[in-house]
Amino acid sequence: MISVLGLVLIILLACQIVSCAFFPRKNNVCNKIPDYATLFINDKNCWYNPDVRSSMEEILKRNGYRAEKHKVTTEDGYILTMFRIPATFPADPVSQGRPILIQHGIGGTGVFWILQGQNSLAFFLSRNGYDVWLSTTRGGTYSNRHERLTTADPEYWNYSFHEHGIYDLPAMTTYISKITGRKGDITYIGHSMGTTMSYIYSILRKKHAEEHLNGIISFAPVAYTRNVKGLYRFLSPFADTLVHLLNGIGIYAIGDLPIYSKIISTLCGTYPSVIFCELSVALTSGLSVEEERPDLLPVFGSYFPAGTSLKLIQHFSQCINAGYLQFYDYGDQNIVKYNATKPPIYDLNAISVPVHLFVGQKDFIGNVEDSETLFRQLKSNRVPTSMSFYNYAHNDFFLGRNFENLYSQLLKTIRML
């Protein structure tokens, strides 16, 4: 299966290279999928987007935002980078320059929150007087260093979202509290896996979370996974076997080489492979036709997937198979690791930080049914919580077309924390 897929990608990429050589182009994004077929003759529905393959610093500068680059080291030696965008305007009496930490999902980086130009979430919050911090978890672009390991070491990739929750988040929130002097006043916004790691943080580092966060806002929340649909549901039963095979040939991560972004952005920006790109996104995350943005596919492909461990993807697949959030399953080694034959379940009853859920009605992963189960669980814990719905697929929270309702409700929620 892998060899066939690899062959298809190689053939498609070769076709793009040949096409570009004979039909040089100035534009690189198009308004609709069929427009990519006429991209080489500078179709009027296509244009040049400089954000394709730009650095995070270049995008920030291009949009006129001042940013700071901060390094923080976790307890287990990973060196993470956060980009800080201070409030653009003097803080009003409501925002008061409150720090907001925004966390991406699997295979992402902090750049996801600035890909929409001036309509991007990070810029919107900055304009509204908030102190915005964009994080990238271990393994991803800007956060791929360690005190003693390199990404060539298999040990470097021996982590999952469990470690994101118990190491990465405590390190980042401690640092933000120290720099801003706003301990206990950090608002956390997570997307997808970014929500999962915040729940693990709140459960296993409960006191730390209570001391540093005033609330958790979850875009596309992932805790219960019984109703996950699409490719993840189809492939999850085979994840353990597939990861074992890849580890056997020395592959422990995906997306950790720059060539990935070059290949994917090329495939997602040229006809006919852009159809394959669009289909892949739809089959994994769902599709909301009203929110569809074909012009952002090459931009998204420039940064996805960023480096992440196969163990993390395997762990997520194990949770899909189980239907709920559980510790990593080591199989026969569970007795040694947990003194039990099965991995423990993360106790959602232990969450005491307020949690507010923002759910996409077309989302295959953080879907309505599982989100409602989580909402009922949190309410039974007497945790302050709310839930609102949007006509979004999984990635539309940062790649969609319409943000007015989302941003309006987001501000209301932040202001009541």
Write out pLDDT tens, residues 274-285.
999 999 999 999
Asked if residue 149 lies in contact with residue 73, where contact means CB atoms within 8 angstroms, the answer is no
Query: What pLDDT, on a 0 to 100 scale, did the predictor assign at position 80?
Result: 98
Whether 201 shows a pLDDT value over 80: the answer reads yes
- Residue 181, classed as helix, strand or coil, is coil
Residues composing the chain: 417
Query: What pLDDT, on a 0 to 100 scale, did the predictor assign at position 95?
Result: 63
Tokens representing 150 are 């390199």
Q: How confident is the model at residue 413 (pLDDT cuts 50, 70, 90)?
A: very high
Query: What pLDDT, on a 0 to 100 scale, did the predictor assign at position 379?
Result: 92
**Helix-helix angle 193-204:169-180, to 10 degrees:** 80
With a CB cutoff of 8 Å and minimum separation 6, the contacts of 205 are 165, 166, 169, 170
Whether 179 shows a pLDDT value over 50: the answer reads yes
Helix residue ranges per DSSP H, 181-322: 193-204, 206-212, 231-235, 239-248, 258-267, 273-285, 297-301, 310-322
Domain count, the chain: 1
Burial of 409 (0-12, 13-18, 19+ CB in 10 A): middle
Q: Which of 35, 51, 363, 370 is catalytic?
A: 363
Give the pairing of strands 355-360 and 385-390: parallel
**Which phi and psi angles does 268 have, rounded to 5°?**
-85, 5
Query: Does residue 330 form part of some domain?
Result: yes
Range of 64's domain? 49-256+306-415
Q: Which of 192, 198, 265, 302 is catalytic?
A: 192
Query: Does residue 346 form part of some domain?
Result: yes
Whether 18 shows a pLDDT value over 50: the answer reads no
Q: How confident is the model at residue 88 (pLDDT cuts 50, 70, 90)?
A: confident
Mean pLDDT across the stretch 240-255?
A: 95
Q: Which of 54, 135, 394, 396 is catalytic?
A: 394
pLDDT in tens, 300-324: 999 999 999 999 999 999 999 999 9
* CATH number where 102 lies: 3.40.50.1820
Query: Does residue 16 form part of some domain?
Result: no
Average pLDDT, the chain: 91
Query: What pLDDT, on a 0 to 100 scale, did the predictor assign at position 23?
Result: 46
Mean pLDDT across the stretch 71-94?
A: 87
Query: Does residue 17 form part of some domain?
Result: no
pLDDT in tens, 163-172: 999 999 999 9
Whether 259 shows a pLDDT value over 90: the answer reads no
Encoded amino acid at 151, one letter: T
Give residue 281's region: left, alpha or beta (phi > 0; psi -120 to 50): alpha
For 355-385, the DSSP string reads EEEEEETT-SSS-HHHHHHHHHHHHHTT--E
Query: Does residue 265 form part of some domain?
Result: no
Query: What pLDDT, on a 0 to 100 scale, did the predictor assign at position 2?
Result: 42
**Which phi and psi angles does 133 have, rounded to 5°?**
-120, 125
Tokens representing 292 are 């569809």
Tokens representing 190 are 């997570």
The enclosing H or E element of 387 equals strand 385-390
- Give dist(CA 298, CA 271) in Å, integer: 12
Is 394 a residue of the active site? yes
- Give dist(CA 55, CA 141) in Å, integer: 10
Whether 146 shows a pLDDT value over 90: the answer reads yes
Query: Does residue 149 form part of some domain?
Result: yes
Whether 372 shows a pLDDT value over 50: the answer reads yes
- Give dist(CA 340, CA 356) in Å, integer: 33
Mean pLDDT across the stretch 31-40?
A: 86
Query: Does residue 34 form part of some domain?
Result: no
Report the DSSP beta bridge partners of residue 355. Answer: 216, 385
Is 192 a residue of the active site? yes
Query: What pLDDT, on a 0 to 100 scale, did the predictor assign at position 266?
Result: 85
The radius of gyration of the chain from alpha carbons, rounded to an integer in Å, stands at 21
**Which phi and psi angles does 221 have, rounded to 5°?**
-65, 140
Mean pLDDT across the stretch 328-350?
A: 97
Q: Which residue has the higher pLDDT, 19 or 254?
A: 254
Mean pLDDT across the stretch 74-90?
A: 91
Query: Does residue 266 form part of some domain?
Result: no
